[in-house]
Structures are given as C-alpha cells and as structure tokens.
Structure 1
C-alpha cells in the first residue's frame, strides 16, 4: 500500500520570441525588457525550484529580428542560432509556428536537424505519405515521480493563406482542431498518460471569459474550440496572437506569453497518488512571468551569440541603397498634412508587392526621419518600428470614405488660435500617431473646419467621384486590417491576400533589389482648415 503522496509538475513555455535573442529591438541603443537571454534568467530561477520542469517553445522563433534576417539572407553558417538557443537552454520540445516557413523549407529543416529536442506538429503532414512532416506529433515525458506527461504539438492550419507556395511545397495543413481531437484520443488510449498538454501555435478566436467572437471564425485561431469541445486536454499552450493570457477554460489551463520574449508562461499541475498507486491530476494553475527591469540577461547566452550580434550590428549600419531626392521627414506633423515622398514610397511598395490598386500607411512616431542619402537597414527599422505584415483587404467605396473620416479625426483646431493640432483623442492616454493613415491611389481632401464625420471634402478615383458601392483592393498593415485603432469599418472584411513577411523585410528587399530609390510625390491628398 502507498501512503498518499503529492507531486507538482511545472511546465514552462515560450512563444513568438521572433528571433529576439538579445534584449534589443535593433532600432536604437538601450537594454529592453525582452529577449531569450532574459527569458533564460527566468527559466533558471524556475529550474532552481523545480529542476525537472518541462520547457517548451511554441513557435515563431526563426524569424522577426535583423539578427535572424542577417543569418538567413547573408550568413547561414554553422548551427542555426535558434537551434543553438534551444539546445543551450535545454528545451524539451519545440513546435513550428507559421513564421518558421518564411525563409523556406531548407533553412527550417536545417534548424530542426540542428536542434537536440524534437519538433512536434501533428497537423502538418507530408503530401507524399500523409505522415507528420517533422518526424513526430507528440512526445511522452516521464517525470522523476513516475508521472507521465504527453505533449502534443499543432500549428495554425491557416499557413497556406499567407506563405509563399515554394516555402510549403509538399506539405499539407490539416485543420488543427480536428487533428488535435484525433491525436488526443489516440494518445489517451495508447499511452495512458497522467496529463495531456497541447502546445498549439495558434490563439483564441473567442474571448476565453465570455465566449464572444473576437475575430472572424476562419480557422486561423481555434483555442476556444479546442478548450471547449475537445475532451482529454489538461493544458493548452497558445501563441501566434502575441497576447498576454493565462487562465482556465472548461477545465483546461491555458497560457499565451506575448511576443519577443516579454514573458514566460508557467503552468503548474498538482498530482495526488492514493493507496492504489495511481497518480491523479488535481488542481491546475497558469500564470505569466514577465520580464521586468529586475531581470538581467544571461551573460553566457549573450556571449554565445556575440559574434553574430556584432555582424548584425555592423550590417545594420551598412548602406543597402540610396535615396535620390528628398525622402526625409523634417517635421512629422507637416508630413501628415499633405502627401509626402516617404509615405508615398511606403504605399508604392505595398501596392507593388501585393498588386493592390490602393494602399494606406502611417508615419508611426514623431521620431521617424525618413530616408536621406545612403539608406541603412537601421534606417528601415527605425522608421517602420512595428512587426507588421501586409494584407490586401477588399473594401467598398463607402468603407474607404468611413476610414478617411476616421483619419480626419486625428486633427483638431486650437480654440484660441484656430491653428491645426493633433486632437486629444490621439494624444491621451498615449500618443497614437500610428492610427493616422495616408492613402495612395485615390485623390482626397480632408477639411478639418467641418464637424467630425463630415470632413472628406473631396474623394476621387481615376478622376471621378469614388463609387460608394464599388469594390477596391487595398494594401495595409496587418494591425489596421484587423480593425486596429478602432477602424471598425475595416474589420472582418474579405482578405484577398496575406503576406506573412514583416514589412521591414519587404522594404529592405525592395531597396536592395533596386539600389536607388527615387523620391516621388503626386500630391494626391491634403488637409485643409
């Protein structure tokens, strides 16, 4: 007979680190509260308390920083840095995310082969034989107490809607929820584990608390469905959406640790073993451990990547092209009042790479300075500061007018002087210059002397008044395409094309391919008051 025993199993998860090994955003100096080197410090703290803690990565590790871009495009030597990090920190398993495919299958497969731990994905299969494309869908880990934890990997099946076909050639992407349902049942029957953990590179399509839809139910994110409808799951580790989430839904503990290494997910499972010798899972809890100012970077990990970081920093300051004409931004506020060569350049790139007939883009901060003379990669990432991808959204002329009216609310008139200023709504509680877009492909005038909602004084397409009932394909960043910034008129619109590559990479590739960027400005819009 066994006396009743208790045991705790700790599971740690990173997700959407996006190549941030060093605590930097590469846009300027300063130590930032992010990155794998700082996560390593948190991981070490947890392991001191529980040396047997399972450590999992939930995807999107290979892409997202100039460091990884430089390695993939220019270096490519030795063990892949993502694999080196996983190996050095002793990860137990990894799951491929959608951005793992951005540099092609050869680089991904090399990273996988360089990694000591298995990469798990049940729903990405080989078209040739239907088998899991990356070796195995799950792994069972036996903890020191004899407790057996099954970890099943899955990846959002929406990848074919984003990725270049050549990067996923020969692969089939099964609906993640359907695959998880089948594999969990098989694992429960065959392995008889004490707990099942699903590490899913995908997020929640509904609010975990209310069940209300938070996005179109396309199948890109299925976390709510997985928790609510699939029996046999104890823990769901999520990602992809870059949200900071931890809680419990339908008896399933869930967590999502943001992005860029800003947090570590920690799930605790408490087991009891009775007189029959069988471990039974009791209480579960999930929380996030944030990287704050008190967390120092792991010096050993920094040293491991010192040479690659040095090469990256040197490359960031090397010219990748030249600006011919003036693409500099002397005064961002003035540049938001009439068509400007820099925003026209960004819009033209967006239109060219997507094939869209219209485009909108923002000057994200008042620190943006555009391009002048030699253009470096650091110039690109300093002006385009967000990790946005590109979408082409189908809008009606009526939607476009509504979006322009929303843009026009960025401005207000000073009551005392009548001068144009930024409206309070765009300054409090924080500056939101990124929520003001400038458009290309149409002609328009915004008259700030008019009441809000009535400020679009002119709106033409091809020299004719824009038809409110006609459809137009518009290129915009992924944040705006989701309705970000309270652009409700853009939310849930048909997505005609989705480019998964970061805009910084798109802009850099465009400049590299051409060498010289010529400033143009067709003055298709202006603000009056």
Structure 2
C-alpha cells in the first residue's frame, strides 16, 4: 500500500509558525479534502545531537547553563504533544558522548550488563518511539554501546551499519534492526480512530568506521546512505509500511549524489518511498535562512527534495517538529500537506523535568565530584578566545602531551629520528558553541574538568608520517577558516562561519605566516576550491624553512587520521601509530606526571601585514580580560552581538 502525496492549491505560510491544536487542519486549503472527508494531524517530534546534555549544566565551566539539556527540552516536547492529537517522538543520534558525565560513566563508573545508562533512563522516561545511531555513539567502543542499548525501551534502528556485509544491503547482518514498523492508531478531527503502519528507518555517516577505526576495525562495516535506502525502503513497503520516516544522522549538503557522502540529506530525500526526513549531525537548524540558496532545499515549505524535513540543532536546545495532514481514502493514506519548524528553549531556560532530573541526580553529583578532583597546576591563564589570532597557549599544552606520548611509542628507529610535529584544533572557539563555548582555565589549581575543557572529545591518539609538502597542504586546509580580506578594506569578518573550530588546526612548533589577501585554496568542507591559490607564505621549524621533501611525524587524533575534514595525507598508508588511548587521558597523565600544564614548543602563526586594513573578529565576552595578549592588533571593542559575542575591530597593518 503506497502513500500518495497531494500538492496544496497554495504553498503554506512561513515555516516558523507554531501550530497549535488542529490549526494545521483549519489553516490550509487542499484540493484533496472535500466535504465529509476527515483529516488526521500527525506530528513528528525530533531531538538530535544531544551529546549527553541531559541537564542544563555546563560541566566544563562547572555551573548551570540555561537553554540546553533534555530535561529542559522535555517541557517543549510535552507542549508539542499536547498541541497535536497524534504524535511520535524520535531521536536522531549522537546522544551518548559529549559531556564529562558520559566520560565518567564510560571510563570511571563503568557500565555492566543490566545497568541502565542515564541517557536510556531519560529517553525511557519521555517514552520515545524510536531512535537511530550517530557517529559519536561509537566513541566508547562497540561493546559499551551495545550494553547501553540493552536498556532502551524503544526500537533502535540503523540500516547502513553492519557487523557483516552480504552480497547487498538486504543481505547484511546489521548491527541493530535496519528499520521498524510501528502499528499505531491515529484519530481524525472528529475523534474517529484509524490504524496506520509507520515505517522508521535509520542512517549514520559511513565515515564512522574511519573516525573510530581504533575501536571498530574488523567489527563494523558501513554502506553508503542512499544505496542502503534504495535497498531497504522497498522492503519496508512490502512489509506493509504506509508512511516511512527516515531518521537520518546526516547533514544537508550537496544536491549532487556521490557515493559515501557524509552529508547526504538531499539525495536521500529524493529516494522514492521516503515520506519525511529527520536530519542532524551538523548541529544546525532547518528550516532556516542558512539553507535558502541550496538546490532542492525549500525553507519556505520546510522541504528537501519535496519531502518534509527538519533539523533540530543540538544539546537539547531545540526540538524539531514536522506536522503532517493525512487522509485515508480507498484504503490508502495520502499526505495532503506538511509544515516544519524548530522550537528553541528560551534563553533563560525552562524548569527541568523531574522525570529526567531525578533519574540522573545521583550520577550528576558523582560527575561533579569527579570533575572537581585536582590533578595539577596551571602556571598561567590558558584560553581559546584568540586561537584564531595566533594566541595558542591552550593548544600548545595539548600538543606537547601528544608529542611526548608519540615520541615514546615510535618503535621504528628510522621514524623515531624524524622531527615530531603536533596538530591540535581549538575545539571550543565559539561559532556554533555560542559565546560561552571557549576554553578558559585560570592560573592555579587544575581539576579534571579543566582537562576536559582543554580537550572535550574522547578521540584516540594517532600519528602520521607526512612530507613537508603534505604538512603545508594541511595548513592550507586550515586556512579556509578565514575569509578573504582585501588590502585596504575595512570591517571584513575575519572568520569563515562555515568552518568550525575543530577544522582549524595549529601545528606546533611551526611558525606560519598566512596571507589573507589570497583566496582560500580549499572550501569550507575541504574540497579543492582554487588549485592555484596559496595562503601559506612561510613555514619555519626551529628557524629554518620546512623541507617540502622531508619527512615528519605529525601527532593527531583518530578522527582526523581517519579522514575527517579531508586534510592532506590523512590516509591509512601514512599511519605510523594508532592507539586506543584517548588524548584527554594522555593529557591528564601528562599533567599529573609534571604537576602542571606544561607548554611545549613556542610555534604559532601570524598574518602577513596589510597596511590600512581592519577586520571584525567575534569572540567570547571573557576575552575582554585578555586584550593585552593581542595588543599588536590594536583591538577596539565594538560591543556585543545579539548572540552575545564580543565584537572586536582589529588592525592588520602590522601583521600581528
């Protein structure tokens, strides 16, 4: 039985409309709904990329944080359920890792068979209908994930992740069920009940097997998202699914299909048989103006490839909604119209839902005790407010810990003689993390929470052997983090907002000079944009130019070595060290051994001087206490943005 989609006479209004009660039924005029026919209002509710933000609390800053957390988002979910007669609640993946609470459960308290992970306790309390897996579900290893999922009181689906590949997707031994069919009764606007069979299928980025290769090698296989959908969706129809919802932990990227693409929402939406699409992974919001110019994406109707879609941000700060007007005629369900919207928590937050707060209260207290445990000292204030300006002290301590660990474990004597470089990204440098999303470690005692603040992700250590030319290309890729600045121009935004902090790498102890008057060689996704462009004009190591043909050891992490971000040389053939040790644990042990956060090399980067040129740089408000560190830019504070970032006018005349 196939569900038909009828087009309305007129397109619905703006997407940011809040639909209450049966307003969807009353506000739209459709050719398919005539006198005597009854419409069914079905609402799909999405959370995505929770990253274990269960409570409105910032464990890195060790203080409450309004506006995030599933316990607060539960209030939005309750309201959304009360407004519609028929609702389904889904999570779109990346729920397991992201806060020190998750690390505490995985690495200190542990999770034994029969234990209920706090995220499962929270989702069970909210009565989720189904969830899918994201890439970060695998950060703690496959066994930990499977033990976690044993506590789920709802189906977990993922169609393109398997423990053994068959001749085709439908012959694979999938890690969890590829899909589930939910038998539900829905009521129309007159209160009459109707049966409906709703198919739910899940997808994850296939790159997950590379990003967590140290834990998954030989144990997990991944297929292309679109190819998997084309195989499984027809089977779902054969099994009786009348409406198919895709839980797609993938972003909204190119409309042009390419096998293995990470952000495949647009070609996935074009897959015949899929009726609605819940997206995620990139922590963005859809519908929103950000996607206004993308092919096959319509923010006015909230559709991708003509299918209703939504992306509900991250960390429980938002929930996504898709409202669908259905009608049953001749034994078939028809979609008469849809609306999508994303609802945000108010900036001052909402009162925490007691179901979740009570479920994790004990673990919250244990996590606080753990993160406050002293491990050493910091001899200076370390922050990431100016990491994109060459103030990289907070990165250098991580770089030195990585270098020290790799140096001791290079078994090949020939490799051990090579110069060891260390690449680190300012993971917390504003952007999508907001004005509070910066590392800020004060001089004095250092606790575990500060270690997590300096390195918030549980990436494993890795090392590559690269040529000097590949190292320079690595830096060129990083330079995409900056906008092009025309000499003599005034007020150009310095940072490219499309490049998140984790894709801007600083390589210690290199001294690098960037020429921002040149176009970027790479685009924001790592694709080669202009092969003739070069922003890196100088790379020095210990006072000498880097040898393009020389060989160097580059310390990095499993995520980057697996190809994430598309950095030059991040290939298996160049891998010389792959270790299960998590970089954050390496940093903690390094600090414990030395009794302090110790910087390594003094390398950094600067910009080529552009006389008479100014730029605008946005950073966290806490940067105001450290403006002396960027005196060479002659900074002028220009107030706060609506989002709460501090705007600074910087002078590039001296190339500081």
TM value normalised by structure 1: 0.77
1:301 is matched with which residue? 356
Q: Select which of 82, 87, 96 maps to 1:53.
A: 87
* Distance change (3 Å), C-alpha of 1:289 and 1:106: same
Secondary structure of residue in 2 paired with 1:143: strand
Contact 1:83–1:114, Cα closer than 8 Å, also in 2: yes
For each residue in 1:449-468, what CA deviation from the matched residue of structure 2 results, as whole angstroms up to 9, or x when unmatched? x9967998863246542246
Question: Could you tell me how far apart the structure 2 residues matched to 1:186 and 1:148 are?
Answer: 14
1:236 is matched with which residue? 277
1:12 is matched with which residue? 45
- Give how far 1:14 is off: 1.0
- Give how far 1:283 is off: 1.1
- Give how far 1:513 is off: 6.7
Within 5 Å, which residues of 2 pair with 1:385-400?
A: 396=470, 399=473
* Distance change (3 Å), C-alpha of 1:24 and 1:332: closer
Q: Select which of 340, 345, 356 maps to 2:397.
A: 345
* Distance change (3 Å), C-alpha of 1:22 and 1:218: same
For each residue in 1:422-442, what CA deviation from the matched residue of structure 2 results, as whole angstroms up to 9, or x when unmatched? x9845999xx99998754142
Select between 162-171 and 10-19 the one with higher mean Cα deviation: 162-171
Secondary structure of residue in 2 paired with 1:302: helix
2:379 is matched with which residue? 326
* Distance change (3 Å), C-alpha of 1:495 and 1:237: farther
- Give how far 1:397 is off: 5.8
Q: Select which of 313, 324, 327 maps to 1:269.
A: 324
Select between 395-404 and 103-112 the one with higher mean Cα deviation: 395-404
1:115 maps onto 2:152 in alignment: yes
Q: Select which of 98, 104, 108 maps to 1:64.
A: 98
1:378 maps onto 2:449 in alignment: yes
Question: Could you tell me how far apart the structure 1 residues matched to 2:132 and 2:279 are?
Answer: 11
Contact 2:59–2:449, Cα closer than 8 Å, also in 1: yes
Within 5 Å, which residues of 2 pair with 1:184-333?
A: 184-191=233-240, 193-206=241-254, 211=255, 218-228=260-270, 230-246=271-287, 247-274=302-329, 276-293=330-347, 295-319=350-374, 321-323=375-377, 326-329=379-382
1:183 is matched with which residue? 232
Question: Could you tell me how far apart the structure 1 residues matched to 2:134 and 2:459 are?
Answer: 16
1:357 maps onto 2:394 in alignment: no
1:460 maps onto 2:551 in alignment: no
Question: Could you tell me how far apart the structure 2 residues matched to 1:478 and 1:165 are?
Answer: 7
- Give how far 1:266 is off: 0.8
Secondary structure of residue in 2 paired with 1:147: strand
Question: Could you tell me how far apart the structure 2 residues matched to 1:195 and 1:461 are?
Answer: 60
Q: Select which of 70, 74, 79 maps to 1:36.
A: 70
Within 5 Å, which residues of 2 pair with 1:436-475?
A: 438-444=506-512, 459-461=539-541, 464-467=544-547
Contact 1:120–1:135, Cα closer than 8 Å, also in 2: yes
Question: Could you tell me how far apart the structure 1 residues matched to 2:307 and 2:482 are?
Answer: 45
Question: Could you tell me how far apart the structure 1 residues matched to 2:460 and 2:37 are?
Answer: 53
2:127 is matched with which residue? 90
Q: Select which of 498, 507, 510 maps to 2:584.
A: 507
* Distance change (3 Å), C-alpha of 1:151 and 1:112: same
Listed as ranges, the gaps of 5+ residues in structure 1 are 412-422, 485-489, 499-503
2:611 is matched with which residue? none
Question: Could you tell me how far apart the structure 2 residues matched to 1:406 and 1:195 are?
Answer: 42
For each residue in 1:461-486, what CA deviation from the matched residue of structure 2 results, as whole angstroms up to 9, or x when unmatched? 465422467787766799999xx9xx
2:530 is matched with which residue? none
Select between 125-134 and 296-305 the one with higher mean Cα deviation: 125-134
CA RMSD of aligned residues (A): 4.6
Within 5 Å, which residues of 2 pair with 1:507-526?
A: 507-512=584-589, 515-517=592-594, 519-524=598-603
1:27 maps onto 2:102 in alignment: no
- Give how far 1:491 is off: 6.8
Select between 11-20 and 453-462 the one with higher mean Cα deviation: 453-462
Question: Could you tell me how far apart the structure 2 residues matched to 1:188 and 1:295 are?
Answer: 41
For each residue in 1:224-283, what CA deviation from the matched residue of structure 2 results, as whole angstroms up to 9, or x when unmatched? 21113x211111111111121132122211111111112111111211233x35332221
* Distance change (3 Å), C-alpha of 1:80 and 1:195: same
* Distance change (3 Å), C-alpha of 1:361 and 1:107: closer
TM value normalised by structure 2: 0.64
* Distance change (3 Å), C-alpha of 1:64 and 1:280: same
* Distance change (3 Å), C-alpha of 1:452 and 1:45: same
1:417 is matched with which residue? none
Contact 2:460–2:582, Cα closer than 8 Å, also in 1: no
- Give how far 1:34 is off: 1.1
Question: Could you tell me how far apart the structure 2 residues matched to 1:190 and 1:455 are?
Answer: 56
Question: Could you tell me how far apart the structure 2 residues matched to 1:451 and 1:161 are?
Answer: 32
* Distance change (3 Å), C-alpha of 1:62 and 1:436: closer
Contact 1:390–1:476, Cα closer than 8 Å, also in 2: yes
Question: Could you tell me how far apart the structure 2 residues matched to 1:408 and 1:115 are?
Answer: 43
